[in-house]
């Protein structure tokens, strides 16, 4: 099985590692505009060979793991190059735009829109992790538009690397993911910005920062090159989540100004219910 991974960062690299582990007769080919990333991926065994777009006609599977703005330009070009039996998977964090842009492509049946919900705040080939996806959820959109045999091929991979599957339409996916992922990243970036601007002496930040601050601001270490295009593509949904989040912050501030700490206690206690929700998911 010839698997081509375009974009050799955390997500694509981790998929490559897990596929190699679960499938004996597989060769992973890498395509990346960053030559250093290609060399690193080859050196640490994420890929076995470098490749070019002209080689895509030999692919059984192509995984597109690039920033979502790049994916909009790249995905139609990949579909132009592949054979009739090749499965192409996009693994980006937004789905509506990429599904729209290839909806009339002659090889639409070869494409599967996926979003494996896993990752860390790190990027690049050296961030790739084995078993990153085990026990994680993978959202698949518009599965009915993908050829059945190619659906089966994808599901076999996801099953072997230990992923749970959920099906969703692209519009709903982008709306829901704005709440549970995109808003979290914005909150983390802005918390980091607020603290850095307030505490000019960085030594004080690191001396006083506990595990709570570190975990909350962790996502602020994520790649802007990846996240700025995500916010742009999902702008409408992200703005909606921000408006609701800001409204809750304003309400909390008003309760503080009113010395209404009994209500603040009630707000926090009711929100504690999220523990049961998350425990049920995990």
Measured distance CA(123)–CA(261) in Å, rounded: 42
The CATH number given to 173-281 is: 1.10.3660.10
The pLDDT of residue 213 is 76
- C-alpha pair distances (Å), 126 with each of 39, 44, 184: 11, 8, 24
The pLDDT of residue 202 is 66
Q: Is 164 helix (H, G, I), strand (E, B) or coil?
A: strand
Average pLDDT along the chain, 282 residues, taken 10 residues at a time: 96 96 95 95 96 96 97 97 97 97 98 93 90 96 98 97 96 96 93 82 67 80 92 97 96 96 93 75 56
The pLDDT of residue 122 is 82
Domain chopping of the chain, boundaries = 2-169, 173-281
Measured distance CA(162)–CA(131) in Å, rounded: 8
The CATH number given to 2-169 is: 3.40.50.720
Pair 114, 90: CB distance under 8 Å:
yes
The pLDDT of residue 280 is 62
Burial of 65 (0-12, 13-18, 19+ CB in 10 A): buried
- b/e map 186-211, b = 16+ CB within 10 Å: bbbbeebeebeeeeeeeeebeeeeee
* pTM metric for this prediction: 0.88
Is residue 42 within a helix (H) or strand (E), and if so which, with residue range? Answer: helix 35-43
The pLDDT of residue 34 is 93
């Amino acid at each position: 099985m010839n698997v081509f991974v375009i974009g050799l960062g955390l997500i694509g690299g981790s998929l490559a590692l897990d596929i190699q582990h679960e499938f004996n007769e597989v060769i992973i080919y890498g395509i990346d505009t960053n030559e250093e990333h290609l060399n690193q991926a080859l050196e640490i065994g994420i890929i076995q060979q470098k490749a070019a777009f002209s080689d895509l006609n030999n692919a059984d599977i192509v995984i597109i793991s690039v920033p979502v703005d790049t994916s909009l330009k790249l995905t139609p070009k990949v579909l132009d190059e592949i054979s009739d039996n090749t499965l192409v998977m996009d693994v980006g964090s937004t789905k509506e735009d990429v599904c729209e842009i290839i909806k009339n492509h002659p090889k639409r049946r070869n494409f599967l829109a996926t979003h494996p919900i896993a990752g860390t705040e790190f990027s690049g080939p050296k961030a790739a992790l084995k078993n990153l996806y085990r026990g994680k959820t993978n959202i698949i959109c518009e599965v009915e538009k993908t050829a059945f045999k190619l659906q089966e091929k994808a599901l076999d991979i996801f099953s072997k690397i230990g992923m749970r599957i959920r099906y969703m339409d692209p519009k709903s996916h982008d709306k829901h993911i704005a709440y549970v992922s995109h808003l979290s990243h914005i909150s983390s970036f802005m918390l980091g910005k607020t603290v850095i601007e307030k505490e000019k002496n960085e030594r004080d930040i690191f001396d006083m920062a506990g595990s709570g601050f570190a975990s909350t601001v962790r996502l602020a270490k994520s790649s802007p090159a990846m996240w700025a295009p995500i916010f742009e593509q999902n702008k409408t949904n992200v703005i909606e989540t921000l408006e609701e989040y800001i409204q809750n912050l304003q309400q909390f501030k008003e309760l503080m100004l009113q010395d209404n700490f009994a209500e603040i206690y009630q707000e926090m206690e009711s929100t504690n219910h999220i523990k049961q929700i998350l425990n049920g998911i995990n």
